[in-house]
């Protein structure tokens, strides 16, 4: 079962950070080259894992649907009358997580190239970047909730310093706001994680503890079924129960201890709501803060505006996807009954996020704030797709995550091009940029069209699948009302409004800039900027024309999610 490739991906940045510690701080050029070379190696490892994943592999040829699995005993603790604690070093990927790992490799490489413009405290920046890179990759491959939470929580620290030290004028405020918001979400997730641990058994370790099988024996489905039957009838003494954080076990309701905190038959309640409902709400809000969805989004525009371009690239391309991944990997399969029950208000929340983010983008003059609010708007599609609980909607939600993870970094890099030349991002301070910067404007228009969801770009595929899922849900399972589906379609017009207005304002007409000295600085794209922009452009165009290549990876994971929902 052991395949160390995922461990190489996760721990390569941490090992590289140790090497960076040995490099003198004044060798800034070497530090930057080490960062780029290291992220190039990581991108190669991620690509190798993606190509080594077999989407056609049958379920019974994998470990619970996961491939490249690594499983090691990590923490074991006998709690006497309270059973045993079991925490595993457990890594693995399905089609959804391996796609996000491939995205991680590409975005981190592009962000490393973008980091070449960093001049202040380069060694500290490189160390923080590497720690963040390993933590993000760990979130996407961890199959133990405790391990996932460690990576999830640890990445707050390097991101806090990356914004707070290398950010803009209000960097301290933005960093503290980011940290407090996401830490609040982490506390909510931690509370539910502990409750899930107290309510769930590891059927394999419990079978060994109870004497139904010996360590090292071949596991059979009959043994698992027998353990779950004994658990349901209360025939396993508490001291023989092994509690677990393993995510695949948490998603199987047969592993829930009867009358435990989060079991279906629990009689525990708080303020008139069952504790299972409270666990669901806390977990949902925790990941919605990270996504983010309105009204939990207010940390994001400030963080983007103050963060350096490379950090905005990672923040938009990867960190927001951790929130969506948590919803799809943990919230939906662990609480399918409550997702079904609250799909309607969740879809309304997604629609609110879509329009609130879009309207704020329309009113923003700071280009970074505009792209940040467009991210809030586009994440609304992800929430609506999840709330639809249809195969089309869920596929669209994951596809939208991948698509946005390519297009949004592309747009932030373009904003960085303007800022590097003028130290200004106000769209009202420029006009007619097509004259001195025709290739820049061509790239920008492609990015705008891709983010609008125009055909031939990946954004179109993701948004169309979500809209189809919303309409299907309104008539098939009636989780989403018809009016939400209709307004979801209208949201596409909103994104066109703020992008086309920005293009007319900045790119066309007579060449003008607020400061006459900027005219000489506004030169066209250079080689380093092409190296950052072209890979992202090729990726989101290729997925727009050949979406089935990615869908082959996503379909098995989406089918499992829809099966969980159908079971409830």
pLDDT exceeds cutoff 80 at 217: no
**320, 383 contact by CB (below 8 A):** no
Q: What pairs with residue 270 in β-bridges?
A: 273
pLDDT digits (tens, 9 = 90+) for 115-156: 999 999 999 999 999 999 999 999 999 999 999 999 999 999
- Angle between helix axes 482-506 and 458-475 (nearest 10 degrees) is 160
| pLDDT at 2 (0 to 100) | 57
pLDDT digits (tens, 9 = 90+) for 397-418: 999 999 999 999 999 999 999 9
pLDDT digits (tens, 9 = 90+) for 524-554: 999 999 999 999 999 999 999 999 999 999 9
pLDDT digits (tens, 9 = 90+) for 28-65: 999 999 999 999 999 999 999 999 999 888 676 788 88
| pLDDT at 213 (0 to 100) | 82
pLDDT digits (tens, 9 = 90+) for 222-267: 888 888 898 888 888 888 899 999 999 999 888 999 888 888 887 7
Q: Is 173 exposed, middle or buried (0-12, 13-18, 19+ CB in 10 A)?
A: middle
Hey, what are 124's tokens? 């500290």
Distances (CA, A) of 222 to 204, 226, 248, 256, 567: 11, 6, 18, 18, 21
Single out the residue of 213, 196, 4, 206 nearest to residue 92, CA to CA: 4
Entry field: residues in the chain: 568
Q: What pairs with residue 86 in β-bridges?
A: 76, 244
Hey, what are 378's tokens? 């586009």
pLDDT digits (tens, 9 = 90+) for 333-390: 999 989 999 999 999 999 999 999 999 999 999 999 999 999 999 999 999 999 999 9
Single out the residue of 412, 427, 426 nearest to residue 502, CA to CA: 427
Output phi, psi for 68, to 5 deg.
55, 40
Kindly list the domain boundaries of the chain, sorted by start residue: 342-568
Task: Please name the residues in contact with 299: beta carbons below 8 A apart, sequence gap of 6 or more.
Answer: 174, 177, 178, 180, 181, 182, 289, 292
User: With a threshold of 0.85, does the pTM exceed it?
Assistant: yes
pLDDT digits (tens, 9 = 90+) for 428-473: 999 999 999 999 999 999 999 999 999 999 999 999 999 999 999 8
Task: Please name the residues in contact with 403: beta carbons below 8 A apart, sequence gap of 6 or more.
Answer: 457, 458, 459, 461, 462, 540, 543
pLDDT digits (tens, 9 = 90+) for 355-364: 999 999 999 9
| Mean pLDDT value across residues 194-214 | 89
pLDDT digits (tens, 9 = 90+) for 6-20: 999 999 999 999 999
**How many degrees, rounded to 5, is the angle at CA 471 between CA 469 and CA 472?**
60
């Amino acid at each position: 079962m052991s395949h160390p490739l995922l461990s190489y991906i996760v721990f390569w940045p941490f090992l590289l950070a140790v090497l960076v510690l040995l490099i003198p701080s004044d060798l800034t050029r070497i530090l930057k080259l080490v960062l780029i070379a290291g992220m190039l190696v990581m991108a190669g490892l991620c690509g190798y894992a993606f190509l080594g994943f077999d989407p056609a592999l049958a379920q019974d040829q994998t470990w619970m649907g996961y491939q490249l699995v690594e499983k090691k005993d990590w923490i074991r603790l006998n709690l006497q009358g309270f059973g045993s604690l079991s925490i595993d070093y457990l890594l693995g990927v399905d089609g959804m997580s391996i796609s996000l790992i491939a995205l991680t490799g590409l975005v981190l490489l592009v962000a490393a190239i973008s980091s070449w413009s960093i001049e202040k405290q380069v060694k500290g920046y490189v160390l923080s970047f590497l720690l963040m890179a390993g933590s993000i990759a760990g979130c996407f491959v961890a199959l133990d909730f405790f391990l996932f939470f460690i990576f999830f929580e640890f990445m707050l620290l390097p991101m806090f310093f990356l914004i707070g030290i290398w950010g803009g004028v209000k960097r301290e405020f933005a960093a503290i706001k980011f940290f407090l918001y996401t830490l609040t979400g982490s506390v909510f997730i931690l509370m539910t994680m502990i409750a899930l641990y107290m309510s769930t058994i590891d059927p394999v370790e419990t079978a060994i503890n109870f004497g139904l099988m010996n360590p090292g024996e071949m596991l059979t489905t009959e043994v698992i079924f027998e353990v779950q039957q004994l658990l349901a009838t209360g025939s396993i003494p508490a001291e023989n129960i092994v509690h677990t954080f393993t995510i695949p076990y948490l998603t199987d309701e047969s592993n829930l201890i009867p009358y435990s905190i989060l079991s279906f038959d629990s009689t525990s309640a708080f303020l008139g709501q069952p504790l299972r409902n409270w666990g669901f709400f806390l977990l949902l809000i925790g990941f919605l803060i990270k996504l983010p969805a309105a009204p939990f989004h207010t940390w994001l525009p400030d963080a983007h505006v103050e963060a350096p371009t490379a950090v905005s690239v990672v923040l938009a391309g990867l960190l927001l996807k951790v929130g969506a991944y948590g919803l799809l990997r943990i919230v939906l399969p662990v609480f399918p009954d409550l997702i079904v029950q609250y799909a309607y208000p969740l879809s309304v929340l997604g629609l609110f996020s879509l329009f609130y983010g879009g309207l704020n983008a329309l009113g923003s003059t700071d280009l970074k704030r505009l792209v940040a609010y467009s991210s809030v708007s586009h994440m609304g599609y992800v929430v609506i797709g999840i709330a639809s609980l249809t195969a089309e909607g869920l596929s669209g939600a994951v596809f939208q995550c991948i698509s946005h993870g390519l297009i949004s970094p592309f747009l932030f890099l373009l904003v960085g091009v303007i800022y590097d030349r003028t130290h200004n991002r106000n769209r009202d301070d420029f006009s007619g940029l097509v004259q001195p910067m025709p290739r820049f404007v061509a790239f920008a228009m492609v990015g705008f069209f891709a983010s609008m969801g125009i055909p031939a770009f990946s954004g179109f595929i993701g948004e169309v699948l979500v809209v189809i899922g919303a309409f299907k849900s309104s008539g098939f399972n009636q989780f989403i009302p018809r009016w939400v589906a209709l307004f979801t379609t209208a949201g596409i017009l909103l994104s066109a409004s703020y992008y086309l207005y920005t293009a007319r304002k900045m790119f066309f007409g007579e060449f003008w800039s607020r400061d006459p000295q900027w005219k000489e600085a506004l030169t066209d794209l250079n080689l380093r900027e092409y190296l950052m922009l072209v890979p992202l452009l090729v990726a989101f165009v290729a997925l727009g024309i050949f979406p089935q290549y990615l869908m082959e990876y996503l379909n098995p994971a989406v089918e499992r999610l829809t099966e969980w929902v159908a079971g409830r």
